[in-house]
Structure 1
Amino acid sequence: MDKSKKLLTRMIRPLGCLLILFVFLMHSTGTWRIEFFERLERIAYDIRINMTLPGEGDPQIVIVDIDEDSMRELGQFPWPREYLAELIYRLFAEYEVSTVGFDIVFAEPDRRGASEVLGRMLEEKPELEEILLPLMAEMNGDQQFGDILAQVPAVLGFYMDRESEDSTPSVGDLPEPLEIISPVSPDLLPIPEAFRFSGNQPILQNSALSAGFFDNPLVGSDGIFRRVPMLQKYRGQYYQSLALAMMRSLLDMPPVELIVSGDEENPILEALDVGGFRIPVDNQSGALVPYYGGRGTFEYISIVDIFREEVPKERLQGTIVLVGASAPGLLDLRTTPIESVYPGVEVHANLIAGILQQSFRHQPAYTLGGEVLLMLLIGLVLTFALPRMPPLLILAGSSVLFISLWSLNLWLWEEYNWVFPLAASMLLAAALIAYQLSYGYLVESRGKRQLTRLFGQYVPPELVDEMDQDPSSISLEGESRDMTVLFSDVRGFTTISEGLTPEELTRLMNAFLTPITGVIHDHRGTIDKYMGDAVMAFWGAPLNDPEHASHGVKAGLEMIKVMEELGPEFKKRGWPELRIGVGLNTGMMNVGNMGSEFRMAYTVLGDAVNLGSRLEGLTKQYGVDLMVSETTAEAASEYEYRQLDLVRVKGKHEPVAIFEPLGLKGMLDEKTVSRLERYHNALEHFRNQEWGYAERVLDELKQEDNHLLYEVYLERIHLYRENPPGADWDGVFTHTSK
């Protein structure tokens, strides 16, 4: 695989993550809005609303309700206007309320009052005109209602529409346009614009202190009331919402100041200031409704109870009264985040309470920058961190990430009333995690299966996992590496096998090759092949292993120990106790997939490999189980060694020093250390041809330990005394057999 292809393979995974991040950033910046993301964001907003509802309304705000009891008592709505005049009189004169607002529009003249009855009488008896006309004027419901409105701080409601007046003309009158203070022209802001209206009868509108609209052009695409505009535009003039109008009536009608950021060409509306009360809004003047609870959170009082004088004065004195309808037949019901059937009048109550208590949630202009930064952080961290993590850690980390995102978001919501987008960032994290896991399962698992197929018979599963982290570093092509090779063979196996049936021999082979293979795998070794009772393994490929010599020596020592531990079990089965010889060499070797077009094998070749095989064959001649070369001893210097000899093996001209590993330095007992020092001293005198001294020390060691090695050198001393090697002897012993 060439470098460019390797680079492309390695870049596919992060590029996929960055593409996902790019899509989410496009959505967040508004370049490409994705409806599914917006729907999830609305759901996340509703969940937070319901989790954090205060559950108690503002006792200053009371809803005087046109409910079913009132309609049973007073008749179907609309009622004669004198009823409403009576209601206003009682509320202000008897109950001393602060202000009254009507979530009702009086677009039609009164058709149910006494003046209407007198009018019909006049049509039937024109001769009574002189008597009836004065009575009609005196008993005109609209006039009575207007007269009382002119005396109190009452606010009417009206409705604005996006339909053109060409199709449906406007009716009634609008209140005076709103007085606005702004550093920029409000016309530069995308405040909702209406093209017609349904206003109140002129006699009523001209008498009332003010009026406010109660329609909502900013209702969500799902029909849920989450935000409402504080302002609307009509024919170049600006008008206020019912909640804003009622708040202004309490404050002696101050002007509305627009709090604007940005430059003059691209202003951003951030809030409205009304007599020192700040209302956070978006660029369309939309305020998020600060819901306090479900239906009935604010106190409802039936109109008929007021007429019956059943309401104590203290329940209404000084309150802000909203007159509205909760009766299902009047259709003034809305869908909100907390209830699907919610009285519209109570939406206004929540808004007024939010202004008074300054409890509005808000989403300032810099929220966009915060969301983009958070997404970049999530995207980049997950893109480059997840490929380095195992699946279980990814799942655990994902849980921590989602909990952290939710907790941080809820903290901003509760502590700062900041509506920070939640769904997109969590969905981004979920998408990246799902992509990474899917990629790992669908793509990398395929690569891992390939690696397992190629190397599973050679290397332990944990090495396959490591190779899977960087498959591009693994090559089947032949290459030269510094490695360590191991050969092991069972002593006298031919004789042993002759005494066993084929079935027993198979079981015996499996019984000792399985733990031997486990030891090699445990120490990061690669099985090259089994040759009958012999095992060939190596370290340093297919994965680079800087400590290949140390791992090889440790494996060799443990193999000897395992074979000793198998002795009692073999004896129970009636099998002979097995002993093995192990040879290790370290050096440059050729490694790769080698063979023919019919059969390939991942193996090592070279002189260093051949020397390892020769060393295994020499173990029985020195009476040792494990033998290593000088290069292995130097590379695994943490072990204490006994130098066995300086030999010239068959097929090599250069002499080789051979050693027996005894254990880690500092871990040998004093007796062993003493014998080792005396032995090395005797070996030095032997190579100096000081036969007598060497013989004496070796003979003493033999008496203590009876090791074959001492006998080997005692025999050589006897030989060299009869046939001196000469003054130029280099101490090398030449072996003529393998």
Structure 2
Amino acid sequence: MIFQRSKKNILNFCIILYIFISTTPLIEVPILNTVEMFISDVRLKMTMPEGVDNRVVIADIDEASIRELGRWPWNRAILAEFVDTMFDHYQIKVLGFDVVFSEPDDVSGFMVLEQLDSLQIDDEQYLATSEKLKQQLAYDKIFSASIKGRNIVLGMVFDQANPDEVNDLKQPITTIEATLAEKTFVAKPIGYTGNIDILHQATDSVGFFDNPNISEDGLYRKVPLFQLYQNGFHPSLALAITRKAIGDQDYYFNIQKTGQYVAIEQVQLGSLIIPVDKTGSVIVPYRGGEGSFPYISVKDIMNKRVAKDALKDRIVILGTSAPGLQDIRATPVDSALPGVEVHANIITGILDQRIPYQPSYALGVELTIIIILGLLMMVVCNYLSPIMTMLFTSTLITVYLILNLFLWQQGIVIFLASPLLLILMIFVVHMSWGFVAENNTKNTVKKLFGQYVPPGLVDEMVNKPEWITQEGQSRELTVLFADIRGFTSISERLSPQELSELLNLFLTPLTKVIYDERGTIDKYIGDCIMSFWGAPLPDSRHAEQGVAAALKMLEKVKHLQSSFSARGWPEVNIGIGLNTGMMSVGNMGSEYRMAYTVLGDAVNLGARVEGLTKQYGVALIVTEYTKQAAPNFIYRKLDRVKVKGKVEAVNIYEVVNFIDLVTDELKQEIDQFHLAYELYCQQKWDEAAVILNNLMSQPNDKSNIVLYQIYLQRIDDYKASPPVKNWDGVYSHQTK
């Protein structure tokens, strides 16, 4: 048992070590990451604030706007009008463009005028009209003029694979030494696409809206707040919009340097602290699915159908919910969320200071938790039952989930998958090990005792292996012998095949009765069954169960008579003897053959008692020791005898039946016989004979006539030849 437990502990320790190493940056286990993402998504959905946050409004390029204003991209005169309407009419706080204007707005009329000008037409009226028309058709210039000097953030895109530099790029918000830049895990794009020069010059703020940190399964869980291009930090669209919203506060980067490890742990924007991971990304603090922010159609804004209060002092992002414009993102909270809402969630998360983060000490905490949980599961479960192991494991998981959820609500992210997987793996080991060990024990018990004891008792023995032994022991047991009466004459009347069939049909149901009463089959001796109670499992009711089995065996034999008669077989009757006492029990025999059996004087007495059933004309006899140990039956005292080979006398009794099955008339008859027996022992022969003759003449029960005749014959013999002086009523039997 100790060796088995040691092997289990070694396996559990290996699991702890594996999960411990998997949690460190040394190795990456894909399945662990997958489970972590799944559980984290569940945690996020459970704790989302829900509701609509109207601090950020989506100016929606929806299908209705496209039908009314034309196919996207619109000419920039429309966008200029949109900008003017937003700031002049609605007085918004900030406007962000979730688009990039990387190419000039080439209007066909403007190009025609420039071609005509190249012909150098010398006509004052034409020149004046041409200049006026070109001013009206210079949409980029009109758009540039509308955004200049206003709180506007334009979009741009970095490229991780293509080194092309399209248009200009704003100066970085800060720079870092090249040696340090190489050591960081922040995205380092090699190219970009910016806005055309006239628009680039018109605004002081630009932010990227690409995401190089999409999860392996394609979901937007994390988004970088900055990327590192040529050693300079450039902000995301969400970060740039937030800075505009709080009044162009300064950035401050908290850079941690530990040996070769360099990471930006947080960004400070004015009084706002924004925690980031080693890639400069934030976990998107989703409020809910699509519709967490108000959407207002651009056409309604342009037509001034929207109440001013709905937009005044709001942060507005121009984006699209139209599927055709392909700005739909897969997220943990919505499989088709407009990308503009990702920016909105980050902005409100920064403003509310609810960006979840993993502190620098998180790894140490997680590794400590893994060690503590692993050791708890490994040690405690060794001393618990399967049910208690399940309860303990469930409690441990619940406590950890509550702790993790509490920390999450404080904005601290601690891994879920590693500790939970550790607990479940050790739980599976304990349960499987218990199952395998139980199975092995069961197989061993079946192998050792299956031929002796019933299946139900085998199951109990499996649950109490400490009680099981095949070594010789001395115990108080009850032994039973059952023998077919007149078997020799029966065997002479049947063929060998019929005799074998009769024995099988006879012994099988009787064996089942013994098994039902939790008895152990010792052996079959020809037509005799030997069984005992109280081993291999200790049983304080061994005598009662033995007597009950004997009565049920007699009843079973009666039921068998009809089937035997139908086959033309002779009637079969049995005699049963039981004794209770100290016996040696265990595996006995030689190195060639062993048997689990009982030995001793008490066993021999049981065999002798069975032999007396023929002489007293009764089917079931027990000794006084069995009677004392099984008081819940009605007994008839038969005699006090010395059996062959024994010096000490013993009282023997017929078991009449269970107490509640014996009629009052039969009880009176038994009392009369007991009175006759007392008179017989007092050598009051005539008085005893009167009672016996009276019992013989009663028509109710003729089953004990042989018994009455025995005592009447003895009385006649003793009257002719009186017993010795101080005779105590003991009768000595000289045969088995």
Give the TM-score range, shorter chain. 0.7 to 0.9
User: Is 1:634 matched up with 2:628?
Assistant: yes
Conserved in 1, the CA contact under 8 Å of 2:104 and 2:196? no
Deviation string 1:506-553 (CA, Å, 9 cap, x unpaired) is 332222211101101111112222222211112233333343222222
User: Is 1:505 matched up with 2:502?
Assistant: no
Distance 1:223 1:712 in 2: 100
User: Is 1:173 matched up with 2:185?
Assistant: no
Task: Identify the residue that residue 36 of structure 1 maps to in structure 2.
Answer: 31
Q: In structure 2, which of residues 476, 491, 494 is the aligned counterpart of residue 482 of structure 1?
A: 476
User: Is 1:571 matched up with 2:585?
Assistant: no
User: Is 1:625 matched up with 2:619?
Assistant: yes
Conserved in 2, the CA contact under 8 Å of 1:194 and 1:234? yes
Task: Identify the residue that residue 714 of structure 2 maps to in structure 1.
Answer: 716
Conserved in 2, the CA contact under 8 Å of 1:18 and 1:383? no
Conserved in 2, the CA contact under 8 Å of 1:26 and 1:33? no
Superposed counterparts of 1:213-292, under 5 Å? 214-216=209-211, 218-228=213-223, 242-243=237-238, 246=241, 249=244, 286-290=282-286, 292=288
Distance 2:134 2:627 in 1: 124
Evaluate the alpha carbon distance shift between residue 30 and residue 194 of structure 1 in structure 2; reply closer, same or farther with a 3 A threshold.
Answer: closer
Evaluate the alpha carbon distance shift between residue 193 and residue 660 of structure 1 in structure 2; reply closer, same or farther with a 3 A threshold.
Answer: same
Q: In structure 2, which of residues 647, 650, 657 is the aligned counterpart of residue 653 of structure 1?
A: 647
The SS at the match of 1:561 is helix
Q: In structure 1, which of residues 293, 296, 316 is the aligned counterpart of residue 289 of structure 2?
A: 293
Task: Identify the residue that residue 732 of structure 2 maps to in structure 1.
Answer: 734
Distance 1:25 1:714 in 2: 91
Deviation string 1:259-283 (CA, Å, 9 cap, x unpaired) is 9xxxxxxxx9999999999999879
Task: Identify the residue that residue 599 of structure 2 maps to in structure 1.
Answer: 605
Superposed counterparts of 1:348-427, under 5 Å? 348-352=343-347
Evaluate the alpha carbon distance shift between residue 666 and residue 303 of structure 1 in structure 2; reply closer, same or farther with a 3 A threshold.
Answer: closer
Q: In structure 1, which of residues 322, 335, 347 is the aligned counterpart of residue 317 of structure 2?
A: 322
Letter in 1 for 2:555: K
Task: Identify the residue that residue 594 of structure 1 maps to in structure 2.
Answer: 589
User: Is 1:93 matched up with 2:88?
Assistant: yes
Task: Identify the residue that residue 336 of structure 1 maps to in structure 2.
Answer: 331
Letter in 2 for 1:592: N
Distance 2:95 2:57 in 1: 10
Task: Identify the residue that residue 342 of structure 2 maps to in structure 1.
Answer: 347
Conserved in 1, the CA contact under 8 Å of 2:366 and 2:414? yes
* TM-score of the aligned structures, taking structure 2 as reference length: 0.73
Evaluate the alpha carbon distance shift between residue 673 and residue 27 of structure 1 in structure 2; reply closer, same or farther with a 3 A threshold.
Answer: farther
Conserved in 2, the CA contact under 8 Å of 1:63 and 1:323? yes
Conserved in 1, the CA contact under 8 Å of 2:224 and 2:281? yes
Report deviation, 1:619.
1.5
Report deviation, 1:89.
1.1
Report deviation, 1:39.
0.9
Letter in 1 for 2:288: Y
The SS at the match of 2:96 is strand
Q: In structure 2, which of residues 535, 553, 557 is the aligned counterpart of residue 559 of structure 1?
A: 553
* TM-score of the aligned structures, taking structure 1 as reference length: 0.73
Distance 1:216 1:225 in 2: 8
Report deviation, 1:488.
0.2
Conserved in 2, the CA contact under 8 Å of 1:63 and 1:324? yes
Task: Identify the residue that residue 539 of structure 1 maps to in structure 2.
Answer: 533
Conserved in 2, the CA contact under 8 Å of 1:174 and 1:200? no
The SS at the match of 1:610 is helix
Superposed counterparts of 1:125-144, under 5 Å? none
Conserved in 2, the CA contact under 8 Å of 1:459 and 1:521? yes
Report deviation, 1:642.
3.2
Task: Identify the residue that residue 263 of structure 1 maps to in structure 2.
Answer: none
Evaluate the alpha carbon distance shift between residue 144 and residue 626 of structure 1 in structure 2; reply closer, same or farther with a 3 A threshold.
Answer: same
Report deviation, 1:225.
1.1
Distance 1:417 1:702 in 2: 97
Distance 2:297 2:696 in 1: 116
Identify which range, 453-462 or 352-361, moves more after superposition. 352-361
Distance 2:527 2:210 in 1: 92
Conserved in 1, the CA contact under 8 Å of 2:453 and 2:521? yes
Distance 1:16 1:675 in 2: 71
The SS at the match of 1:563 is helix
Q: Which runs of 5+ in 1 are unaligned?
A: 1-5, 179-186, 260-267
Evaluate the alpha carbon distance shift between residue 556 and residue 282 of structure 1 in structure 2; reply closer, same or farther with a 3 A threshold.
Answer: farther
Evaluate the alpha carbon distance shift between residue 164 and residue 317 of structure 1 in structure 2; reply closer, same or farther with a 3 A threshold.
Answer: closer
Evaluate the alpha carbon distance shift between residue 658 and residue 83 of structure 1 in structure 2; reply closer, same or farther with a 3 A threshold.
Answer: same
Conserved in 2, the CA contact under 8 Å of 1:20 and 1:431? yes
Distance 1:388 1:606 in 2: 43
Evaluate the alpha carbon distance shift between residue 631 and residue 122 of structure 1 in structure 2; reply closer, same or farther with a 3 A threshold.
Answer: farther
Report deviation, 1:659.
2.7
Conserved in 2, the CA contact under 8 Å of 1:486 and 1:584? yes
Conserved in 1, the CA contact under 8 Å of 2:282 and 2:357? no
The SS at the match of 1:536 is strand
The SS at the match of 1:292 is coil
Evaluate the alpha carbon distance shift between residue 255 and residue 646 of structure 1 in structure 2; reply closer, same or farther with a 3 A threshold.
Answer: farther
Evaluate the alpha carbon distance shift between residue 253 and residue 649 of structure 1 in structure 2; reply closer, same or farther with a 3 A threshold.
Answer: farther
Task: Identify the residue that residue 638 of structure 2 maps to in structure 1.
Answer: 644
Distance 1:693 1:20 in 2: 87
Conserved in 2, the CA contact under 8 Å of 1:371 and 1:421? no
Report deviation, 1:42.
1.8
User: Is 1:524 matched up with 2:513?
Assistant: no
Distance 1:301 1:203 in 2: 29
Letter in 2 for 1:610: N
Conserved in 2, the CA contact under 8 Å of 1:646 and 1:731? yes
Task: Identify the residue that residue 182 of structure 1 maps to in structure 2.
Answer: none
- Superposition RMSD on alpha carbons, in Å? 5.9
Q: Which runs of 5+ in 2 are unaligned?
A: 123-127, 176-180, 255-262
Distance 2:25 2:480 in 1: 65
Letter in 2 for 1:563: V
Task: Identify the residue that residue 260 of structure 2 maps to in structure 1.
Answer: none
Distance 2:610 2:48 in 1: 80
Task: Identify the residue that residue 102 of structure 1 maps to in structure 2.
Answer: 97
Conserved in 1, the CA contact under 8 Å of 2:167 and 2:195? no
Conserved in 2, the CA contact under 8 Å of 1:460 and 1:521? yes
Q: In structure 1, which of residues 466, 473, 477 is the aligned counterpart of residue 460 of structure 2?
A: 466
Deviation string 1:480-527 (CA, Å, 9 cap, x unpaired) is 443322110111222233333444333322222111011011111122
The SS at the match of 1:645 is strand
Letter in 1 for 2:723: P
Q: In structure 2, which of residues 717, 723, 726 is the aligned counterpart of residue 725 of structure 1?
A: 723
Evaluate the alpha carbon distance shift between residue 220 and residue 495 of structure 1 in structure 2; reply closer, same or farther with a 3 A threshold.
Answer: same
Letter in 2 for 1:324: G
Letter in 2 for 1:509: L
User: Is 1:9 matched up with 2:4?
Assistant: yes
Report deviation, 1:615.
1.2
Letter in 1 for 2:4: T
Conserved in 2, the CA contact under 8 Å of 1:158 and 1:197? no
Task: Identify the residue that residue 446 of structure 2 maps to in structure 1.
Answer: 452
Deviation string 1:62-88 (CA, Å, 9 cap, x unpaired) is 434568998999999888766644331
Distance 1:271 1:383 in 2: 45
Conserved in 1, the CA contact under 8 Å of 2:609 and 2:621? yes
The SS at the match of 2:223 is strand
Evaluate the alpha carbon distance shift between residue 32 and residue 508 of structure 1 in structure 2; reply closer, same or farther with a 3 A threshold.
Answer: same
